[in-house]
Homo-oligomer: A and B are copies of this chain.
Amino acid sequence: MTSLSRRTFAQLSALTLAASRVPSFAQSATALPTAKPVGFAAVGLGVISDIFMRACVQTPSVKVAGLVTGHPADKGSRYAAQYGLPATSVYTYETFDRIRDNPDIEAVYIGLPNSMHAEFTIRAAQAGKHVLCEKPMAISSAECRRMIDACKQANVRLMIAYRVHYDPMWQQIRTLDRSGAIGQIRGFQGGFYGIKEGVDWRLDRKLSGGGSLMDLGIYPLNAARWFAGEEPVGYTAQVTTMDHSGKFSSVEEAIEFTVKFPSGMLASAGSSYGEHGPSFLNVYGTQGELRIEPAFGYDGLKYSGTTTTGPVGASNTGRNPYEFVYEADHFAHCVRNNRTPDTAGEEGLADLLAMEAIYRAAGAPIA
């Protein structure tokens, strides 16, 4: 039963991971070619696409090659100037399909509201472009299946942007666990909590497909599934909304859920838009435990634990958008080597199936 002592933190500092870009854990694992960068069109120019584009200039494996936006005159022009693109590389949602004729654009990065993921993934595939799509993959498992089918038919790569999977610190933790360092995993607890200021598409079920679970709770859920290495078979959940201002009239503010895996492992986790709290994953084993916190933010991540060989821990000194860089590198590697991404469409589908089961268990509406 660890707690973070002053001594442990001194050790953490000594163990901090190298944040330098090259060589890195992720790159050495995927043996990335750097001959020709994969050109991306960023679809939707919100916060997340902005981060992704900033990542693109930090690695030779990818580049920003196009922009797709509902505001070509202002947002489009501004980003085109920033990334040195001609006006002809700026598209709208209406002219999107013309990316087919732009050989500089080999792939799209989908940073749109959840409800638009399926349409633009399928249109991109039909235009012959590879797809890196933000999580959640879509607003229903049915949409996920159509996306997978479309990409298969077009023979393009489809990857869901689970950035955590490509973080060297998380890979170190996963490797540690696989080595038996904490014995047999028996349980997980996790969560992702925060105060959502303002109102945006995430609070509109038609666009988001659901509330805090779809946006935040998906992180501990996905992490538990990743470590479990199998799919849940039992679900319970309760949703709640305590902010009655109308902000949460169509999606849940908060949720707490439990999932059970075939091996018997149990996980409980939650998420909220309405309360201060951590982003964390605890992994409990027969021989030790691992605590990751902050676990799901853009940077500043840390972990600590007790294992069969003593205390472990590290602080990840990588700074946002470093996870997006590793993610982009992996995607480029898969495109160049015709390889299935570690977080392919099937991974996004599995989370949607689990989230649908969680909402169903809670008696909550499903998109």
Query: Which residues does A use to contact B, with CB under 8 Å?
Result: 1-6, 9-10, 182, 184, 186-187, 189, 191, 193-195, 234, 236-238, 240-242, 254-260, 263-270, 272, 274-279, 282, 284-289, 291, 293-294, 297, 302, 306, 361
Complex Cα spacing A274 to B1, Å: 13
**Contact among B265, B306, B361 for A242, CB-based, below 8 A:** B265
Instruction: Report the minimum CB–CB distance from A308 to chain B (whole Å).
Output: 11
Asked if residues A6 and B9 are in contact (CB atoms below 8 Å), the reply is yes
Interface centre among A194, A284, A297, by most chain B C-beta atoms within 10 angstroms, is A284
Instruction: Report the minimum CB–CB distance from A259 to chain B (whole Å).
Output: 8
**Contact among B6, B279, B289 for A276, CB-based, below 8 A:** B289
Instruction: Report the minimum CB–CB distance from A68 to chain B (whole Å).
Output: 33
Asked if residues A238 and B234 are in contact (CB atoms below 8 Å), the reply is yes
Task: Please name all residues of chain B whose beta carbon is closer than 8 Å to the beta carbon of A270 when the two chains form the complex.
Answer: 187, 189, 258, 266, 268
Q: Which residue of B lies closest to A5 (CB)?
A: B9
Instruction: Report the minimum CB–CB distance from A211 to chain B (whole Å).
Output: 13
Task: Please name all residues of chain B whose beta carbon is closer than 8 Å to the beta carbon of A286 when the two chains form the complex.
Answer: 195, 274-276
Asked if residues A268 and B258 are in contact (CB atoms below 8 Å), the reply is yes
Q: Which residue of B lies closest to A301 (CB)?
A: B3
Q: Which residue of B lies closest to A190 (CB)?
A: B189
Asked if residues B234 and A236 are in contact (CB atoms below 8 Å), the reply is no
Q: Identify whether the interface residues of A are mostly helix, strand, loop, or mixed.
A: strand
Interface centre among A3, A9, A186, A279, by most chain B C-beta atoms within 10 angstroms, is A186
Task: Please name all residues of chain B whose beta carbon is closer than 8 Å to the beta carbon of A288 when the two chains form the complex.
Answer: 276
Asked if residues B254 and A187 are in contact (CB atoms below 8 Å), the reply is yes
New A-B contacts (7) at CB < 8 Å, excluding given A195-B286, A268-B269: A4-B4, A6-B9, A186-B242, A187-B270, A234-B238, A240-B266, A278-B282
Complex Cα spacing A288 to B194, Å: 10
Instruction: Report the minimum CB–CB distance from A125 to chain B (whole Å).
Output: 38
Asked if residues B256 and A187 are in contact (CB atoms below 8 Å), the reply is yes
Instruction: Report the minimum CB–CB distance from A299 to chain B (whole Å).
Output: 13
Task: Please name all residues of chain B whose beta carbon is closer than 8 Å to the beta carbon of A189 when the two chains form the complex.
Answer: 189, 191, 256, 268, 270, 277
Would you mind naming 22 contact pairs between A and B with Cβ atoms under 8 Å apart? A1-B279, A1-B294, A1-B297, A3-B278, A3-B294, A3-B302, A4-B9, A5-B9, A186-B272, A187-B256, A189-B256, A189-B268, A240-B264, A240-B265, A256-B267, A256-B268, A257-B268, A258-B268, A266-B270, A268-B268, A276-B287, A278-B291
Asked if residues B236 and A361 are in contact (CB atoms below 8 Å), the reply is yes
